[in-house]
Amino acid sequence: MVQISPGPPGSRFSLQGTAVDAQPRPPVLPGSPEPVHADEAGQAQIEALNALPRPADTPPPASDAPQETPETPKASGAPGAPETLRPGSRPTSGPLAQSSRSARSARSATGVRARLPETDLRRSREAFLLDAGRALAEASTTSEVLRVAATLAMPGFSPDGQAVFGVRGTLLTVVGQHGHSTEQATPFQMPLDTEYPAAQVVRTGRPIYLSTPEEYARRFPATWPLAQGFHRRSWAFLPLVTAGRTTGAWLAAFATPVAFTPDERAVLSTVARMLSQALERAHTNEAERALSRGLRRSMGDSARQLDGLTVAARYVPTGGGLLVGGDWYDVIDLPGGRVALVIGDVQGHDVHAAGVMSRLRTAVHAYAVEGHRPDAVLSRASRFLASVDEDRFATCIYIEAEPATGRLAIARAGHPHPVLRSPDGSAMIRHVDGGLPLGLMPDDESYPVTEMELQVGEVFMACTDGLIETGGHDWYTGWVRVRDVIEPGPVDDLEGIADALMQAVHGPASHRGPGQLADRREDDIALLLLRRDERVGAPKPTGRRLMLTVAQGRPERLAGARRELRGILHDWHEPDGVDAAVLLVSELLANVLLHTDQEAALTAELTGPAGERRLRVEVSDGSDELPLRRSPGEMASSGRGLVLLDLLADGWGARPLGEGKSIWFEMNEKADQASVTDGADLTGGADELG
């Protein structure tokens, strides 16, 4: 008697002697028209196929994991004992043995086993499409895309000739080809209205499949002679579509007949879509690179030798692939032998920022050539930027230089302060009055002009914030990094200093803090270095010098004068001596602003070796009235200037000039009290660099 016991849902039945136990089904062959179970010989192949990505139209196989079944008699091996069948095993005797053999015969007769290569082919094509998509996504130029396309070997029907067609105006052209000899690949160009398969594909946006030469000759008799000489048997022309617009066509030609089944057409269509996207990315990248090269060429040479001045410049783009961003520099020849140096930074690092930068740079150049003063140039540039792009702003510093005298007129619009390296090697932040960035408030902006004289051997540095902050640095640590490079650098090798600064920013040791390092090119960098060259026969200066002007109506510049004086005295031996010098300078400048209607010109020079230096300060104005000594009372608010000079200075005096007068004082550094510092002081605060 045969008993049938129900099992888990979705299971089949197997005989065990006189009882039937429900056992889980073994794996089902993917792609089979009806459930056909794998035998022992095909189990490994089925497991390998199941491990591959599954087509959307293939149902998942039943699990082949062992499942619990009702207890049944075990096989004893004795005659007549029940025979236990496990998933994937074959019965050797009994009623199922003949059924198993019949099933195997039926599988052979229906060709199910012959379907395995077709399933393998489908899997291979899926893997091919994944590899092709990855390779095309990594290609960044048109030539790289065409090279990848030439290596595409589609499982089962690989083309031995390919061509990519593009459109130029009303003409169809060949962008690239593969599989044709040099003699065959003649220059190709034809009107789009020609009865040619690729031209029709571009016009209609629909693919054309030609399985035989006879079909090609019948449908396109006028252009069949063009294809006849290549000895191909089948052709596929597919559109290249970008943003819904047909921009070209892709030809895949085959030396053997191809029926172009639905599966084959699906593979070709997928390749055409990936190829179109890759070509569009490549065209965009190449256009951006062409823009970058043009903009970088327009910035001119990195080094220029002027009459009495030497200029070195650098521009380093970000690491995102675009070779230009929002930073720029410019060196402009002005009338009268003067020269303008400009460095700026438009907000952003994308293509739009590069375009805005190009227009703004051109506008600044034009305003400068017209002869406007630095403040007028920046005011006009701010209005221009606001008119072309209301969402972007830019920082800028504009320097007008007279090479013969070394005089500089500087205007600053929200840009980092420049740096001044003295002949003795010390580098200090040179604070310059400034206004808001360009484009923020174009109708209410004013940009004060700071004048100074660059001494022989001094180096003036202007840069964008990328030089300071790249590598995870803030203003303080970034300035320390710059200072450590520019101070020991050889002043005679301006190009070497520029290279050393770039290496310090992008080198392995340029990053701050533990953990994963940031991108070493997360921001653009623009750099300008200006050096005053020594004249033949002139003595070479070895000290530090400060020159600035405090105008009437600008008393706030007194604070700037005090800060700059502290900067050149940052390594003076005695802090009380620095405070005394700052107090005397404040007194002399305030006297000019209070008692005259002239501006005050400050000149401070620090000379001599460390520990034995002498500070000489002169304050000049256009008034001829010399100071008078007075005896102020306890409640007097003025009249103590000369008393302070007597008490704090090692020497002082007044001398008339051709127009006006000059009051000077000197202070000496005592050798026995000197303590030469290591330069750790940041001369006025690096947090104020910006």
Q: Tell me what pLDDT residue 186 has.
A: 55
Q: Give the integer Cα–Cα distance in Å for 626 and 390.
A: 54
The pLDDT of residue 197 is above 90 = yes
Q: pTM value?
A: 0.58
301-532, what's its fold? Phosphatase 2c; domain 1 (3.60.40)
Are 394 and 384 contacting, i.e. CB atoms less than 8 angstroms apart? Answer: no
pLDDT tens digits, one per residue of 413-448: 999 999 999 888 889 899 888 999 999 888 877 898
pLDDT tens digits, one per residue of 47-69: 444 444 444 444 444 444 444 44
Question: pLDDT tier at 580 (50, 70, 90 boundaries)?
Answer: very high
| Greatest pairwise CA separation for the chain in angstroms | 139
Q: Give the integer Cα–Cα distance in Å for 297 and 509.
A: 31
Query: Considering only 119-123, 416-420, 436-440, 508-512, which range has the smallest mean pLDDT?
Result: 508-512
Q: Tell me what pLDDT residue 381 has.
A: 94
Size of the chain in residues: 690
122-291, what's its fold? Beta-Lactamase (3.30.450)
Beta bridge partners of 528: 313, 462
The pLDDT of residue 680 is above 70 = no
SS3 (DSSP) at 91: coil
Q: Please state which of the four CATH numbers 3.40.50.880, 3.90.226.10, 3.30.565.10, 3.40.630.40 is assigned to the domain occupying 544-688.
A: 3.30.565.10
Query: Which sign does the torsion angle of CA 8, 9, 14, 19 carry?
Result: positive
Q: Tell me what pLDDT residue 149 has.
A: 79
Give 202 or 626, the one with higher predicted confidence. Answer: 202
Distances (CA, A) of 280 to 114, 240, 285, 602: 42, 10, 9, 61
pLDDT tens digits, one per residue of 642-661: 888 888 999 998 888 878 88
Query: Considering only CA atoms, which of 142, 125, 113 is closest in space to residue 31?
Result: 113
One-letter amino acid at 251 equals: L
Percent of the chain at pLDDT above 70? 70
Q: Give the integer Cα–Cα distance in Å for 135 and 178.
A: 17
The pLDDT of residue 321 is above 80 = no
> Residue ranges per domain, the chain?
3-111, 122-291, 301-532, 544-688
One-letter amino acid at 687 equals: D
| Residue 204 CB coordination number (10 Å) | 11
